[in-house]
Structure 1
């Protein structure tokens, strides 16, 4: 169902709709007509307010839970509110300082990204998400160190000095000279290439060079690059911080939804794919509830915005995930500010 344009609502309907949405986002509970009447903002009887609520329900903007006489916004209603009625609240000086204070690059960039995301999680009371830039390792040298007659430690050194180790299996009877030969061949042939480029070059050259290599050395060469390439392809690109913040007093009344949401977060690849769709464009993307099939059960929302490197290209996405009743007016500008902070960090 498409949302009714804001302009098509009467002033009274628009005001009551806004009051219901804001009340729901603040408390997590349905908002009743008597609550609005007692607040004194409309000079209307509960019956008159209830009639307007019925009209908004007929438009698909509000829904009535079976256990309550109050109303809460549907996903369609939240979309209408977010896109056409929301009044944002910029982060305070303290909130900005908390985010900027964690965006310090004293070690691997992933650590700074994780720390900044943890700060965003704490301030927004949601789980923080950040898509780590895909920085490909460029090879400098590769060597093999014997561990036992049937195992060896493959050591790869990147051009930035980063060192990674993997254990590889050896064919029975593999001579130490084969380990040296394989390491020398790979270092000489693959230095300066990314793993993907190295795998492509080996596919072309190994057949031609096999005669020049010992059989055991040739097998080690093929196995070594396969181990790293496969591992790199599976390496997580998504950092999640603050899942525990999703379980609050209101969530305790809907534990099944919370379990579904935590299950969603376990499927990092699906969340990463969703965030990846936010890489295009300059604005913040908001995914609300069942608008995305990933959250059809958990009733969750994601607010995400890309951040850029020094050359202006998008290198990652930062955001939050939480229940659909999260405080969009406060969290959206907070995500915007975090993205700008990470752009300065990466730049």
Structure 2
């Protein structure tokens, strides 16, 4: 049976559903009919409450971990609550001041990013995570050296002194002269530019037939640029802090879930791919439990928001990862405020 929309629920069902979700998020424990019957806001008998709970369970919004236990929200139930019923609690003036003060301390931007991850962990009681901006160095020179009949070594040198090597597949028919010509062509056009800037300029030049390269040289240049661009996009830098917060009192009763979550956090490439969904959407994203494949086994949630530089360009993503019983009403606006505060700190 598909879950109903909020307007399709009776006011009685909405009230009981809200109390179950809020009780679960506060305690991490299923909420029973006796507890609900003691809430003066309902004024319902335990039998009436049990009937509504059974109905909500049948609709896939609640589940019972054990036959005699109370109810807890499913991932679908949490999604409905977050999207349609949650009343966010904006950060207090003290919390806003604490965030701005910690992120405003003088020092390198790397220090601010470390602070942000630790700050999110402290404020949420979960793990804080920051995807660092992909800062491409400005380049000085490119060289190409044949390694074998079908491989060449590309060496990229940056203004900051960095040197990186990549293997480029070649057709095998390129001569040493063509490799040198392609390297000279690249060096002349990458100087003072990032790889992304150089790639766009070179592609425009080749497309406009303004380059002096022959067909083999053009293909070699394009292949080399593709290798570098792809590698740059696949090397995210993540800062994760506060994993110990995941081992709270309620987690100790479900240690296997926590173990899975800690293992999932080690897969930084996959975590970065998930955070990229918020980056690409340029808006806050909330992933609950099985909604994301990465954290489906551990039943965890991710609240992520992009952060921007002073020009309004999205440069990274920050957020919180923890159990599905996160305090969404408090954490969501806190993540959003932290993202805006970090943006003010960026050059």
- The TM-score, its normalising length taken from structure 2, stands at 0.77
Taking the TM superposition and a 5 Å limit, the aligned residue runs for 1:148-167 are 158=159, 162-164=160-162
Change (3 A) 1:97 1:52: same
Instruction: Find the counterpart in structure 2 of residue 311 from structure 1.
Output: 311
Judged with a 3 Å threshold, the aligned counterparts in structure 2 of structure 1 residues 271 and 3 are, in CA distance, closer, same or farther, namely farther
Residue 240 of structure 2 corresponds to: 240
Query: Alpha carbon RMSD of aligned pairs, Å?
Result: 3.9
Q: Distance in 2 between matches of 1:77 and 1:190?
A: 52
Q: Deviations over 1:281-316 (max 9, x none)?
A: 454211111011222211011111112222222111
Matched with 1:322 is 322
Q: Which residue of 2 aligns with 1:66?
A: 66
Gaps of 5+ in 1: 143-153, 169-183, 209-224
The answer to whether the 8 Å contact 1:117/1:128 transfers is yes
Give 1:73 shift: 0.3
> How far does the alpha carbon of each residue in 1:97-119 deviate from its partner, in whole angstroms, 9 at most, with x for none?
22212223744423212211211
Please say if 1:126 is aligned against 2:137.
no
Mapped partners of 1:84, 1:236: distance in 2: 34
The answer on 1:54 being equivalent to 2:28 is: no
- The answer for the alignment partner of 2:136 in structure 1 is 136
Shift of 1:254: 0.6
The residue correspondences of 1:1-347 to structure 2 (distance < 5 A) are 3-66=3-66, 68-104=68-104, 106-140=106-140, 158=159, 162-164=160-162, 191-195=191-195, 235-281=235-281, 283-346=283-346
Question: Number of matched residues?
Answer: 316
Summarize deviations over 1:74-127 as a string: whole Å, max 9, x none. 000001100111011111122212221222374442321221121111001111
| 251-260 or 64-73, which deviates more | 64-73
Change (3 A) 1:140 1:101: farther
- The CA deviation at 1:228 is 9.2
Query: In 2, are the aligned partners of 1:60 and 1:77 still within 8 Å (CA)?
Result: yes
- Does the C-alpha gap of structure 1 residues 40 and 199 become closer, same or farther in structure 2, counting only changes over 3 Å? closer
Q: In the superposition, relative to structure 1, how do residues 90 and 229 fare at CA in structure 2: closer, same or farther (>3 Å)?
A: closer
Q: Is contact 2:134–2:236 with CA below 8 Å preserved after alignment?
A: no
C-alpha contact (below 8 Å) 2:304/2:320 kept by paired residues: yes
Match of 2:51, SS?
Answer: helix
Q: Secondary structure at the match of 2:248?
A: coil
Is the Cα contact below 8 Å between 1:238 and 1:272 reproduced in 2?
yes
Greater shift, 257-266 or 96-105, is seen at: 96-105
1:18 offset after TM fit, Å? 0.4
TM, length-normalised to structure 1: 0.77
Partner Cα separation in structure 1 for residue 163 and residue 108 of structure 2: 18
Task: Give how far 1:68 is off.
Answer: 4.3
Q: Distance in 1 between matches of 2:339 and 2:331?
A: 12
